[in-house]
Amino acid sequence: MGSLSCSAITSLQVLVGILNAFFKTQTPADLSSPAKLRDGETFDFIIAGGGTAGCVLASRLSEVPDWKVLLLEAGGEEPLEADIPAFGQNLKLSALDWQYWTQPQNTSCGGEACQWPRGKVLGGSSTINDMIYNRGNRLDYDHWSDLGNVGWDYENGVLPYFKKSEDNLDPDIARDIKYHSVGGYQSVGRFPYTDENVPNIIKGFQELGYKRVDFNGPHVTGVMHLQATQYKGERRSTNGAYLEPVRRLRNNIRVITNVRVTKILIDKGTKVAHGVEYVGEKDRRFRGKVYAKNDIIVSSGSINSPQLLMLSGIGPKETLETLNIPVIKDLKVGHNLHDHIGAFAVNYFVGNSTRPNSSRDFFRDATLYSRNQRTGPWSGIGSLSVVAYTNSRYANKSMDYPDIQFSTIPSVADSRDSGFCDVDVAVPWCYYNRITFMPAVLRPKCRGYLTINSSDPFARPLIYPNSFCDHQDLDVISDGFKAAVKLADTKVFKDNDFRLDKTPPAGCSHLQFGTDDYWVCAAIQTTHSNYHPVGTCKMGPPTDPDAVVDPQLRVYGVKRLRVIDSSIMPVITSGNTNAPSIMIGEKGADIVKKSYGIKL
């Protein structure tokens, strides 16, 4: 067998989807077709968006047998291809992705638009993400609480909800019962397969003094062979974890897919939200209005939730007036946009002895995955299974509050090895010849914003991330690069022939590798989103002029309307944002139940 071309790999993916079908049955798409929804129907709750938080909410609210819950999702049912961890890489820019790009700005992505994927499928971004399970730092939540968000502190406010959601599969982690639990809906555990470079990467960090930690437990600073939102080698999105197990057992829950919520209906006099307008995503002839006796819950994610609010008359007055959208409530919707900013400036070639060879092993790996109980390289995410945390010059080292997180991202450099594609989008995570040690700025100073320039709900919002607007953020990432190049001197990296790639990024070849100017240039040229945008419907107390929702997640100035998803984070957590979004869904569900007098 010669080398596999990219198109061969892509069509093999389709084949894998078919093979998978022999082992699992997919939820039929007609079960949730927009044709099943009648114009004018009334429910108790309507949830706009079936993503990470939306699926949690639909599952938890429908535990109350008297409540009829409607979940509306713009994407379709979760397809079988999404189950395979190593193929997660291939879901970006697929039909399961909204395929957002930022507006070009001169301090990031080499002056070009940056790619910002978002899940457009049941399970939302938890269906296309990299599956890393990371709660963030306890001090993040104590900070939220200090900002006036009563009830959101770590110990009593959010830890109980992380534990409520959790079904931890690894006994060595689960035994720490202060932080972990078993029996929740969301299974969490290490992948069945350990990529051959993972132990060496961990050893490299250890040689530099990083301690082994469970960053979801008592200590964060250090290095971890991470846990993922998976079960026995398959992805567990919140659709798979929370919704799938209950949706056919309960007759009080309706899930409609391929339908976009285009407007929240709000009475202009009383300011009560009482329904939504929807339009079929694929067939726009399906359209109508549905009504809620209780709350409308917006759970469309950090890009679409603010868009939907603005389309409905909630947002900055100037923006709405320009577009002739009647103003219901003037709020800073779309502001406070921030993300973890990374960059691809430090790369190591992988030595020959531990380098995966896709052309040799592809069919062996397919067999391992399909027949032998989901094992082999496809049941993991390649070298990405490591997370390390360190401090920049700005962090207080005695606080266990690191401000840099490393991801160890598999990539394919040219096609210097046979069997690799030139285009890295089509290569599964487990085949690579280079690893990018990407530092991320965990607590950026910069804030961006997003806005709309059209009242057409099918027009795309405009995203201005303002990454690296402040020199401090460039200092932090430069400290990250410097920490990453130190690995080159470790014994384990030398013994295993990991070789630092000193090729300068386009636009930086006039600078000497490793100088301060070089790192700044490299950060601006190779900027990479961590895909964690948050903050655009900021939670805050009534005294916060930028707040969109209160600590009960109610939209200021409108009744019976809440936002419950990652957009409510006042300040981003110091780690990947999926687990925090699950927690927000869990806590949000209890807040709603309590407000209607349900005993918890």
Ligand X SMILES: *[C@@H]1O[C@H](CO)[C@@H](O)[C@H](O)[C@H]1NC(C)=O
Ligand Y SMILES: Cc1cc2nc3c(=O)[nH]c(=O)nc-3n(C[C@H](O)[C@H](O)[C@H](O)COP(=O)(O)OP(=O)(O)OC[C@H]3O[C@@H](n4cnc5c(N)ncnc54)[C@H](O)[C@@H]3O)c2cc1C
User: Should residue 35 be labelled a site residue for ligand X when binding is judged by CB under 6 A?
Assistant: no
Count CB neighbours of 268 within 10 A. Answer: 10
Query: Closest CB to ligand Y among 131 and 388?
Result: 131
Q: Compute CA 32 distance to the chain's CA centroid, rounded to the nearest angstrom.
A: 24
Q: Is 16 annotated as a binding residue?
A: no
- Our finding on whether 221 is near ligand Y (CB under 6 A) is no
Choose the binding region for ligand X from 193-201, 417-425, 472-480, 581-589 (rule: CB under 6 A): 417-425
Q: Which does residue 579 touch among ligand X, ligand Y, none (CB within 5 to 8 A, set by kind)?
A: ligand Y
Alpha carbons 377 and 379: distance in angstroms, whole number: 5
Give first-to-last CA distance, the chain, whole Å: 60
Residue 156 engages ligand X in binding (rule: CB under 6 A): no
Query: Binding string to ligand Y for residues 440 to 459, with x set by CB under 6 A, is what?
Result: --------------------
Q: What is the footprint of ligand Y within residues 548-567 (CB under 6 A)?
A: 565-566
Least CB distance from residue 526 to ligand X, whole Å? 16
x/- binding map, residues 529-548, to ligand Y, per CB under 6 A?
Answer: --xx----------------
Whichever of 118 and 434 has its CB closer to ligand Y, that residue is: 118
- Single residue of 4, 80, 308, 442 touching ligand Y by CB under 6 A: 308
H or E, element range at 310: helix 301-311
Minimum CB separation of residue 12 from ligand X in Å reads 16
Residues 6+ apart with CB under 8 A from 106: none
For residue 109, give the nearest of 599, 554, 466 by alpha carbon. Answer: 466
Catalytic residue list: 532
Query: What is the smallest separation between the CB atom of 583 and ligand Y, expressed in angstroms?
Result: 11
Report the run of H or E that residue 56 belongs to, with start and end: helix 52-61
Q: Which is nearer to ligand Y, 54 or 377 (CB)?
A: 54
CB of 111 to ligand Y, least distance (A): 23
Sign of CA dihedral 119, 123, 125, 130: negative
Identity of the residue, 11 or 454, whose beta carbon is nearer to ligand X in the bound complex: 454
229, 187 Cβ separation under 8 angstroms: yes
C-alpha closest to that of 520 among 478, 490, 487: 478
Contacts of 238 (CB under 8 A, 6+ apart): 51, 52, 53, 54, 55, 56, 123, 124, 126, 186, 582, 585
Q: Which stretches within 325-371 are classed as H helix?
A: 358-370
Binding-site members for FAD are 121, 261
Residues in contact with ligand X by CB under 6 A are: 106, 352, 357, 359-360, 396, 398-399, 417-419, 453-454, 462, 497
Binding site for ligand Y (CB under 6 A): 48-54, 72-75, 92, 117-120, 124-126, 128-132, 134, 260-261, 299-302, 304, 308, 531-532, 565-566, 576-579, 581
